[in-house]
């Protein structure tokens, strides 16, 4: 692995349909950026829910970043998103900071 400065990317997801854009990051990570450690923050504070495909993208992104010596941090994920990511298994868990707000239609605790 090439050592050197790590790269940082920030992404804001406001709508579940925006999750598809994260696939572009996966493509970039496997090619043009080489094998430098990458730290990516995905702000989900304004995205109350995602579907299974969105969770799969987050998990795949986490695994690829981890394999390159980097990390994925989810900022402000809703309770629903946290739960779905946690169901993906212990090796699939990115760091999650803040959030925990219920998704629409979900009872607050």
The CATH number covering residue 88 comes to: 3.30.750.24
Range of the domain at 65: 7-97
User: Residue 108: inside a domain, yes or no?
Assistant: no
Residue partners of 94: CB distance under 8 A and separation at least 6: 58, 61, 62, 71, 72, 73, 74, 85
User: Residue 62: inside a domain, yes or no?
Assistant: yes
User: Residue 21: inside a domain, yes or no?
Assistant: yes
User: Residue 70: inside a domain, yes or no?
Assistant: yes
Model confidence over 52-89: pLDDT tens digits?
Answer: 888 888 888 888 888 878 889 999 999 999 999 889 88
How much is the pTM?
0.76
The total number of structural domains in the chain stands at 1
């Amino acid at each position: 692995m090439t050592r050197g400065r790590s790269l940082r990317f920030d992404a804001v997801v406001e709508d579940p349909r925006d999750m598809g854009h994260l696939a572009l990051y996966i493509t970039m990570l496997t090619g043009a950026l080489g094998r430098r450690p990458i730290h990516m923050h995905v702000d989900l504070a304004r995205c109350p829910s995602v579907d299974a495909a969105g969770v799969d993208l987050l998990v795949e992104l986490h695994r690829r970043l981890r394999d390159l010596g980097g990390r994925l941090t989810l900022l402000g994920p809703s309770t629903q998103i946290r739960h779905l990511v946690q169901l993906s298994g212990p090796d699939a868990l990115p760091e999650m900071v803040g959030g925990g707000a219920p998704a629409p239609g979900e009872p607050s605790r």
